[in-house]
Amino acid sequence: MDEDILLIDKPAGWTSFDVVAKIRGMIKARYRARDEKPTKRQLKVGHAGTLDPFATGLLIVLLGDATKKAGDFLKLDKLYEATIHLGVTSTTGDPEGELTPVSDTIPTIERVQEALNGLTGEITQVPPAYSAIKIGGRRAYDLARQGKEVEIPSRQVTIHSIELLEYNYPEVKIRTHVSSGTYIRTLAEDIGKALSTGAYCSELRRTQIGEWRIENATTLEAPKLDFS
């Protein structure tokens, strides 16, 4: 693995910025132990694709000059495993929002599979208001938290595949291969609309970005991270 690219298995409850700050702190501590002062380049840390705080899984962290490559990673396809909770909607599309019961209808597994099939291919998505997208120079989630109306343009994304892993109402577990720019929270809401039940994404794990796989990632508790 390129020594300037770290694959991190992000734990739930951490923001992507939290992970970046943690690794920057580890770098500082390493140089401090050597009684050395790191350069600005050595302290440059970034990530290539945000993961929501509730989500876990693969986060690519870039060090030094590798931070200039962030855009290349953002264009790559991604693989996720997600749990969709039917019958309830969330203001944020995830467990952190205000939950509202919508329906107690229990769709058949055939109806669920039909809904998944209907969302495969090139589709139009409207990213969630609680997202890191910038609107007028400000993050959409900042505006949404202030109670301001957030209008985000729709976008074309590609859902290459959605595999139904398990269905035990109200939970639908899927594995999905998607293009860059796809929001799984929005996909969950679209599944709920297709089933007329409402839905939100209760669990989310990113397992692959391009050729980079979660199996090769390390946790933040790992005894040694290979950076200089």
Active site residues: 52
Backbone φ and ψ for 160, nearest 5 degrees, come out as: -65, -40
Written as one string, the DSSP assignment of 52-75 is: -TT-EEEEEEEEGGGGGGHHHHHT
CA distances from 48 to 5, 65, 157, 182, 208 (A): 10, 13, 19, 15, 13
CA 64, distance to chain mean position in Å, is: 23
Select from 11, 23, 19 the least CA-distant residue to 224: 23
